[in-house]
Chains A and B, each alone.
Chain A
Amino acid sequence: MSFGPFLLLALMEGMVTSAVLALAAVGLSLVFGIMRVVNVAHGEFFMLGAVSAWFVSQWVPGPPVVGFAAALILCPLFVGAIAALADMTVLKRLNYEPEATIVATIGLLYILQQAALSLYGPDARPVPAPFNLRVQLPWFGYSGYKIAVVAASAVVLLGVWRLLAKSRVGLVMRATQYDRETARAFGINVDRVYAGVFALGGGLAALAAVLIVPIQQAHYLMGTDPLLLSFIVVIIGGLGSLRGTVIAALLIGLSDGVISTFFAPTLAKIVATLAVALVLVFRPQGLFGRRAL
């Protein structure tokens, strides 16, 4: 394959990675930014989204598109509910102590993973794509669904941005992020904001998984890679910065696509990890993060 089409394919693959990564990482970033909780179980919320999408696709009759649409709505809600429950029963009891919440979310990771193994089984199962369209370019064919994933992710990210920047809910969230005690003094129910933010974070990861699952299949161990990459993205972008997270996701996703297509996927991971190390050394707050108060 000549260089031009080769690069095009690399960029297209990179865009799909970026799109899904941005959704997953924004959830992680929100949770850290507002709650100061490093959620190690974030990848498992992603996995739960994919696994529950499989269940929904099995239960909902009719053409795949109906089941997929149902999964797109139900799975983030279901995972969000689990996340809210985890927040109220575990994280809140620990007073959101940073060290304690890390240990607690590690525990949560194993509980969710083993629960999926017990209830769903060890197999990778396919979820049918809502449509089977192939875009035939002169040099290679490409899945039309993958292109739709990029568009869908952009729409959702725009929605999240509007929610945070323009809505009352976003205002309350930002107020809580800025100063928890003052927010409480102004009558904001901080507990509810935290539960909501944790649910939103989990729900975004689940949404990313529902989008990716027709490409990748649902498997109980699929949460590890997104977790690692989300952390990489969030650290590079700056913890708590929505804009930074999206830009870093684009950066990591595209470089992953290009490097792994032209060289090797392992090298792409090495470069991403190296980038994290460099950011931590030279700009610990991330590209767009603010210095800790």
Chain B
Amino acid sequence: MTSRLIGKTPNRRSVLGGMAAGAGALALPTFFPGYTHAQSAEPIRLGFQLHRTGIGASYGRWYERTATAALNVLNEAGGINGRPVEILFEDDGTDPARGAEVFGKLATQSNCDLVFGALFSHVVIGTAPRAAEMKVPYLVCSEGHHVASGMLNRWTLQPGITDVKSQVQGMAPFVTQNLGKKVTMIFPDFAFGHDHRDYFTAACAAQGGEVIAQIAIPPTETSFTRYFPQIPAETEVIYHVMVGPAVLTFVKELGEFYGSGARPQLFGFIDSLEAVDIASPGLEFLEGSHFWEAHPRYKQADASEHEVFYRNAVGVDDNGASVTDPADVATYAHMFSVWETLFVIKAGMEAAGYQGPADRQKLVEAIEAMTAFAESREHPQGDKTFNGKTHQAFGHQNISQVQGGKLIRVHRTSLEDGYYPDEVDYTTQSF
């Protein structure tokens, strides 16, 4: 396992050598004279639970870049409460058991003020109890409904990305009205996929549609053709969402299976193609099909200035790939959540007057008190509302169509489309 220190300034050795305190103390009064009397000169240390290896590695690579880019922007603007901020990245291997260990290590050995950044739902569910035990805030970027469902605890929050239940509820009307009413779902067989299964099936029924088959595939599967015969012939829409290292194989084999014959409409979560080039050989059949994207991979004609700023800052070109390597396609539809979560942390710490680990509870309360995030540099994906009781953010969702080998947005949901009654009130739970 490796950890990396990214300080305010590029000279990491000063941080490692314990000289950061001295350097910070020298630097701070010059820039923020008003804060010196009340501030510790110590940098704020944020732990990042990173999927650097294992099945989430392509997400991890981009989450690290996004967090680093956001950190630079944050520190250039004066850090948090005038204090510089560091992020300590620790690899969890996309594994729940290691996730909990990494959390403990970041919180105790590395003295992080909080931990954030985890995406894969089994890691989040495996780690969250640890957060409550150690009373350390845990801000997840996982999409899973497990935060808002009440399954987790008061120390776990999801302010950076909409949960699956809200996403699918927002999009179900588009699917049933434009693509078809008889839907077959293909999803990964773990918590995240089960959220899709349960909430899309319900949302689809509410729209007068019907899910006629549910095909669960283990996220570590490498061969998919054998699952496709289970798709009933009367299917009008295939709803697919897949994760893991074999997503490209999944989509390719789906194309091979239908070949040039008649096929149902395809509605996919971009997860099935995150970090994969849509122009890959064998994917031509996707032309005309629809994808959900939280944040459009291809720069749209009406992109906001904040979106353009963010895209440049994280080093992604107009086609959603790294500016230095066009073959390195980003996990663009998800990684904004890291950026936005970091700025929620900043806002929360400043509202709570955060001084150090003793104020962790105040930080959670400050985030719970938030109600909305305006579209801004800090929130380039768009405006959101935040429900402090359920610890969950709600944003706009996009539906894009593959047109000429690019994803073009054809529909954007309203915030209200994704609302559902609260299932928990974490604020009534004790810390």
Contact in complex: A266, B218 (CB < 8 Å): yes
Number of interface residues of A (CB under 8 A): 33
CA distance A283 to B235 in the complex (A): 47
**Docked complex: A1-41 residues within 8 A CB-CB of B:** 1, 6, 9-10, 13, 17
Chain A, residue nearest B51 (CB): A122
Residue interface bits B215-235, CB-to-A below 8 A is 1, else 0: 000100111011111000100
CA distance A219 to B259 in the complex (A): 27
In the assembled complex, the CB of A258 is this many whole angstroms from the nearest CB of chain B, namely 9
Contact in complex: A13, B223 (CB < 8 Å): yes
Chain B, residue nearest A219 (CB): B245
Contact in complex: B245, A265 (CB < 8 Å): no
Chain A, residue nearest B232 (CB): A1
Pick from A124, A129, A140 the residue with the most CB of B within 10 Å.
A124
**Docked complex: B172-190 residues within 8 A CB-CB of A:** none
Residue interface bits B38-60, CB-to-A below 8 A is 1, else 0: 00000000000000111001101
If A122-B57, A123-B245 touch, whether A140 touches B226 (CB-CB below 8 Å) is no
CA distance A96 to B158 in the complex (A): 55
- Is A184 located at the chain interface by the 8 A CB criterion? no
Contact in complex: B249, A216 (CB < 8 Å): yes
CA distance A173 to B61 in the complex (A): 48
**Docked complex: A139-191 residues within 8 A CB-CB of B:** 140-143
Contact in complex: B245, A124 (CB < 8 Å): yes
In the assembled complex, the CB of B218 is this many whole angstroms from the nearest CB of chain A, namely 7
Pick from A13, A141, A142, A215 the residue with the most CB of B within 10 Å.
A141
Residue interface bits A89-130, CB-to-B below 8 A is 1, else 0: 000000000000000000000000000010001111010110
CA distance A9 to B256 in the complex (A): 12
If A1-B233, A124-B245 touch, whether A225 touches B226 (CB-CB below 8 Å) is no
Contact in complex: B58, A126 (CB < 8 Å): no
**Docked complex: B246-275 residues within 8 A CB-CB of A:** 246, 248-249, 253, 256-261, 275
Contact in complex: A141, B226 (CB < 8 Å): no
Contact in complex: B256, A142 (CB < 8 Å): yes
- Is A222 located at the chain interface by the 8 A CB criterion? yes
Contact in complex: B246, A216 (CB < 8 Å): yes
Contact in complex: A222, B222 (CB < 8 Å): yes
Contact in complex: B246, A124 (CB < 8 Å): yes
Contact in complex: A136, B246 (CB < 8 Å): no
Contact in complex: A124, B60 (CB < 8 Å): no
CA distance A217 to B276 in the complex (A): 12
Residue interface bits A54-82, CB-to-B below 8 A is 1, else 0: 00000000000000000000000000000
CA distance A198 to B52 in the complex (A): 34
Chain B, residue nearest A136 (CB): B259
- Is B280 located at the chain interface by the 8 A CB criterion? yes
Q: Which residues of B contact A257 (CB under 8 A)?
A: 226
CA distance A141 to B254 in the complex (A): 9
Q: Which residues of B contact A134 (CB under 8 A)?
A: 256, 259-260
If A13-B223, A216-B222, A219-B245 touch, whether A122 touches B52 (CB-CB below 8 Å) is yes
Q: Which residues of A contact B218 (CB under 8 A)?
A: 265-266
Contact in complex: A215, B223 (CB < 8 Å): yes
CA distance A141 to B253 in the complex (A): 9
Q: Which residues of B contact A121 (CB under 8 A)?
A: 57
Q: Which residues of A contact B33 (CB under 8 A)?
A: none
CA distance A266 to B221 in the complex (A): 10
Chain B, residue nearest A132 (CB): B281
Residue interface bits A198-240, CB-to-B below 8 A is 1, else 0: 0000000000000000011101011001000000000000000
Q: Which residues of B contact A222 (CB under 8 A)?
A: 222
Contact in complex: A261, B226 (CB < 8 Å): yes
- Is B150 located at the chain interface by the 8 A CB criterion? no
CA distance A265 to B52 in the complex (A): 28
Contact with A126, one of B54, B261, B280 (Cβ below 8 angstroms) = B280
CA distance A219 to B55 in the complex (A): 10
- Is B79 located at the chain interface by the 8 A CB criterion? no
- Is B126 located at the chain interface by the 8 A CB criterion? no
In the assembled complex, the CB of B234 is this many whole angstroms from the nearest CB of chain A, namely 12
Q: Which residues of B contact A285 (CB under 8 A)?
A: none
Contact in complex: A216, B223 (CB < 8 Å): yes
Q: Which residues of A contact B253 (CB under 8 A)?
A: 143
- Is B382 located at the chain interface by the 8 A CB criterion? no
Contact in complex: A215, B61 (CB < 8 Å): no
In the assembled complex, the CB of A260 is this many whole angstroms from the nearest CB of chain B, namely 5
16 contacts between A and B (CB under 8 A): A1-B229, A10-B229, A13-B225, A117-B53, A124-B58, A124-B246, A126-B280, A128-B281, A136-B259, A140-B258, A141-B257, A141-B260, A216-B223, A216-B249, A217-B222, A217-B245
Extra contacts, 8 of them, besides A122-B61, A143-B253, A221-B245 (Cβ < 8 A), are A10-B229, A13-B223, A117-B53, A122-B53, A122-B60, A123-B58, A141-B259, A266-B218
Give the A-binding residues of B (Cβ under 8 A). 52-54, 57-58, 60-61, 218, 221-223, 225-229, 233, 245-246, 248-249, 253, 256-261, 275, 280-282
